[in-house]
Structure 1
């Protein structure tokens, strides 16, 4: 496969599109839920309609990734961009449970389409010129950009809601309107900047039909790797452990903070700056994770990141005051960013151009499915014991997930031994 973009140009495009993709999301963190509440939906209805997004992701994650592997990354990303814009408009005009469920379902379709193709395109472009090159450095910088974009968007969104320049409409609508506008910018940037030669010859129509026929084969072969590739199987399984800890610091943490402060309203005041600080530290952690991969190697850095992240959750459950909880939360979010570059670098080592998007989606699918099961279980545990206990258990489970990296560790040792033997032979 050939491309017109050099590795340095591809890296610039990857960073630009990563920024334009995540900046809009920062504008609507929590906003969709607040709009639904403002328009009369109950808490039960809100939590129920939100499941439409997860259901669509679970149904479409692998098919859309297989499609991207066969037809190409750019066509799928363009379709994803269009669906995202439609989903944003749907949220703007939704008034009932079913219209909000429709909007959430469309957002789930977008998430499934968008999961993997951009990263897969970048890695394939690099590997075309430098076969097998590790890409954790670029993924580290991408994480920095994601954190900055999300945090910056959230801060601007909060300022816009407080400003409320258009008194005739809800203060919550302007961030969604800007979200839609920025999604249009991202779609245009994808169309103009991302260059990808056709993954097969001929006119688009026949190639499209051929891709439809080949996609199930790609998915089948990708899933088959889980049976035969112990390294990949371990990397996918680690997501089931990690998502347990993530559910604690994403979902239980605000409730734990309210418990310690004695008021949901006071917890809401604390959570605004905490979320912005968390994303800022996520950016720093992502940069640090890239450096750690250089210092310790991908496997050791991945293990260290996951273990520290899980221990951070344990500390969050053991804290007895709000300030200590916030400090543990910010540490955990820093390591959340630091753990990603090495892990994703290991995932890319097990993928090829033919199945990269599918391989990446396997990890995402494990996380989505695991979260759907773990979340309610942690809620039951918290109700029957305490929030602190549930967070400690979640942290312990997340920490022991490091055992899933052991096949990758053994494989790395084998590679190192083979390389040392080869160098010894050459020097002799």
Structure 2
């Protein structure tokens, strides 16, 4: 059996290898599709295919992971991702690029949740008192560093220019494909999982169980006011996501009066923002020690809204970018707190389904945010739209109150066959032993943000 430390290290390695290729693609994917002759409308349609497929498959694939195991589902996901990456290298038409992003939708649906669930369940199996929130926070740090490193590498590859028949903008895609292959090999080598049964008959039984597990995971929301409130946070977060992912570039171009200069600044600014997000995730243990998980998460919702207000109202580009980096810092810190609270409300057999349900809620909200805030920006101004988004982000804070009030309350025994709702106390200080005193858009960027939910 793996030790807690071995599980932790393997989780961080696999998580980093998953997000490093995404960092390579973030700066160039739209430009590459334009280079290959697609209009912005066609690009939007291709990316929409990913979102529709993720929304349709998120819960079924989560139930499958809970039923047949996290390792096989992650392996299938990695194979689909590799196929998508290889196709992206040669895709030169709307139909082929539509297929690329449809495959990405299948991949994201399969990939959403199983690795995190494997980490939490494997850690608890070795040490029921282990503070897995620390690992989730370090996972957020690893994610941010991996994306930032990928973005820097992508810029360097483009600067080197074309290599033979491969254009400069295609070079990051080639390297991303190679890294995806490395990630698949690492997954096969590092992720170990013990399943109670095996063989074709057991597999058929497990697949049949998948839909039941999904239904029971959804049923948890009817029985747990705490879990329902936590997952409802995603509706506000998804809506407000538009402010700092879609509207920020427009706001910066407005302040500078030059879209080209804004695009040039956003490259290094995005790298700094992801590093700041990693630093924010590293603050998770301190926030838990000082405030507790639920009040800390609530406060960060309000602070994030304030950073968006800064982006909307500050006149100079430096101030706008400082607010942008601050927003990502808060973003990185809030996710491990939120996910830790979610994990403590559900037992192992339904963990992936609940994580995916949590993630899925942000998708329709992000779509609504894009439409509503875009309409406000067109009819009024970008600043007004960002202020509306800031309010939506902040008003989610009271939804953490049920989790705060539920500290130390144990749920009554469920009816036979019903999944267990686990109302656990907030984790102790990371420096205090147990018993002593006192864990979401359709572009690669939004893919990264949504996955942190």
TM-score higher than 0.5:
yes
Q: How many residues align?
A: 412
Q: Aligned equivalents of 1:132 and 1:83: distance in 2? A: 36
Q: Which has the higher helix share?
A: 1
Conservation of the 8 A alpha-carbon contact between 1:231 and 1:407: yes
Matches within 5 A, 1:23-102: 23-102=20-99
1:279: which partner in 2? 274
User: 2:27–2:267: 8 Å Cα contact kept in structure 1?
Assistant: no
**Of the candidates 359, 365, 369, which is equivalent to residue 360 of structure 2?**
365
The alpha-carbon deviation at position 104 of structure 1 amounts to: 0.2
Pairwise CA distance, 1:358: 0.5
**Shift in Å, 1:351:** 1.9
Which residue of 297, 305, 322 corresponds with 1:327? 322
Shift of 1:348: 0.7
Q: Give the corresponding residue for 2:417.
A: none
The question of whether the paired residues in 2 share the 8 Å contact of 1:134 and 1:345 is answered with: no
Deviation at 1:352, TM superposition (A): 1.4
Q: 1:123 aligns with which of 115, 120, 125?
A: 120
Aligned to 2:440: none
Check the 8 A contact 1:62/1:219 in 2, yes or no.
yes
CA distance in 2, matches of 1:314, 1:34: 30
Question: Which residue of structure 2 lines up, in the alignment, with residue 195 of structure 1?
Answer: 192
Contact kept, 8 Å, 2:253 with 2:262, in 1: the verdict is: yes
Moved more, 88-97 or 327-336: 88-97
When normalised by structure 1's length, the TM-score is 0.94
290-299 vs 43-52, greater mean Cα deviation: 290-299
For structure 1, list consecutive stretches of 5 or more residues without a partner in the other structure. 420-428
In the alignment, the residues of structure 2 paired with residue 172 and residue 411 of structure 1 have an alpha-carbon distance, to the nearest angstrom, of 51
Q: Deviations over 1:153-205 (max 9, x none)?
A: 1001101101115153310111101111100111010101111112x3241x2
Deviation at 1:295?
2.3
Shift of 1:372: 1.4
Correspondence for 1:422: none
User: How big is the shift at 1:123?
Assistant: 0.5
Deviation at 1:78? 0.3
How much has 1:31 moved relative to structure 2?
Answer: 2.1
CA distance in 2, matches of 1:63, 1:223: 12
Dislocated runs of 4+, deviation >6 Å: none
Matched, 1:310 2:301: no
Any unmatched runs of 5+ in structure 2? 411-423, 426-453
1:244–1:395 Cα contact (<8 Å) kept: no
- Which whole-Å CA distance do the structure 1 matches of 2:349 and 2:172 have between them? 39
Q: Identify the residue that residue 19 of structure 2 maps to in structure 1.
A: 22
CA shift for structure 1 position 321: 1.8
Q: Which moved more, 1:225-234 or 1:367-376?
A: 367-376
- Residues 132, 349 of structure 1: 8 Å contact kept: no
Contact 2:133/2:337 (8 A) holds in 1: yes
Please give the alpha-carbon distance, in whole angstroms, between the structure 1 residues aligned to 2:333 and 2:34: 35
CA distance in 1, matches of 2:198, 2:14: 28
| TM-score, normalization by structure 2 | 0.89
**What CA RMSD, in Å, does the superposition of the two structures yield over aligned residues?**
1.4
The separation in 1 between residues aligned to 2:408 and 2:118, in whole angstroms, is 29
Structure 1 segment 126-165 matched on structure 2, within 5 A: 126-131=123-128, 133-165=130-162
The answer on whether the counterparts of 1:32 and 1:91 sit within 8 Å (CA) in structure 2 is no
Counterpart position of 2:420: none
Aligned residue number for residue 423 of structure 1: none
Name 2:5's counterpart in structure 1: 8
